[in-house]
Structure 1
């Protein structure tokens, strides 16, 4: 209870500060130093600088972070079959006709707002929860303002997991054509662990935020297709994290994230943050060259 109390007032305090100052203080908390905003060096420096520099003049992060609108972008870029179908969308769950189980109720304007529906009992309180989620906006302290330019909607997709377990998602760290690492999260709704592989599916010796998954995970069947798709979708940006599911029927797009963990996720060891920052610099030069051509 004390921890919840302290977290509540910590968040209130951070939300009351100018975004730049709040970013510096939170960066200090998680990384032990202030963010280098004028001359970013690490991946997390670049993420902090990106979110503070963003303005609505560039609506691409808005469209590609919108979990509904991005489906049209992905289909146009990759062709049919890459996105999950939308079974229903709207602003009041009461308007949704009964659907066959299982399925997932989602929100299009943020993360960690999902309801997995396997039976009628899972719908108890779902309408009220979705109504509350529709009102929520990304907190000022996180400074990821593009999410607050998305019109909030509820939508429903099929559940693609097996035996009640959500499918493994593969998160590709894309720096232009370079994909130095792929994040894999296991048991996301239980004993959550995380590990990283390179594009050749060699396990990398570092961790990030959650405890390290020490087991060797099988190479995804459709890894090459996911790599090609990620390189297509990232075009025009120095960095985007692009998520996919590897289903028996083929790869399926998940989402695009422009500022993973809001730039506050510490790598173990911290030198990995510097290593990834080098890829951003290289992609930045290549992107600038393309834009000037």
Structure 2
């Protein structure tokens, strides 16, 4: 059995806390080492990355920082934030690569969140999601939700 298969086998065998069957355990490392410290999330609307969310830390230590397309900090947060005054979030050296990759991956979708890990000049694809925060993120200020909605052109039904 290869590294990935062994990892998947152990990952999916944890019982779901609600009794719903197998559930993935919290991932703290990959078969190749610990998770990178920077998580990059790029909501892409109609093929254009409109903002970037950078996560620092993991689990209870996780902090979110919002940036516009040019990586200018935005005065935006959400109700789960625990941002720290001492955190310095520099533009990742892989920023353009991640932004271009996100837009290529999301091509043809009206909205798609595309996530990456970045560490030491390397980029790893994480996941895609059709709903930011499961569709339940409450932004501060609340008007930011409307701003995000203005970027979204829904397809005809």
Q: Which category of TM-score, normalised to the shorter sequence, fits these structures?
A: 0.7 to 0.9
Pick aligned residue for 1:199 from 66, 69, 81: 69
1:186 maps to 56
Q: CA RMSD in A?
A: 2.5
In the superposition, the TM-score normalised over structure 2's length comes to: 0.77
Give yes or no for the alignment of 1:159 onto 2:33. yes
1:114-140 residue CA offsets vs partner (Å, 9 max, x unmatched): xxxxxxxxxxxxxxxx24148247xxx
Q: Which runs of 5+ in 1 are unaligned?
A: 1-85, 94-105, 108-129, 138-155, 289-293
SS of residue paired to 1:190: helix
Runs of 4+ off more than 3 Å: 90-93
Change (3 A) 1:181 1:92: closer
| 1:180-202 deviations in Å (ceiling 9; x for gaps) | 21111222223322110112111
The Cα shift of 1:260 comes to 2.5
Q: Tell me what 1:73 maps to.
A: none
C-alpha separation in 1, matches of 2:4 and 2:94:
28
1:88 aligned counterpart, secondary structure:
helix
The number of residue pairs the alignment matches comes to 143
For residues 96-150 of structure 1, what are the alpha-carbon distances to aligned partners after superposition, in whole Å with 9 as ceiling and x for unaligned?
A: xxxxxxxxxx44xxxxxxxxxxxxxxxxxxxxxx24148247xxxxxxxxxxxxx
- Distance change (3 Å), C-alpha of 1:268 and 1:199: same
1:123-138 pair list within 5 angstroms: 130-133=13-16, 135-136=21-22
Flag structure 2 segments of 5+ consecutive residues without an equivalent.
24-29
Q: What is the CA–CA distance in structure 1 between the aligned matches of 2:127 and 2:118, rounded to whole Å?
A: 14
* Higher fraction of helix: 1
Which of the two has higher C-alpha Rg? Answer: 1
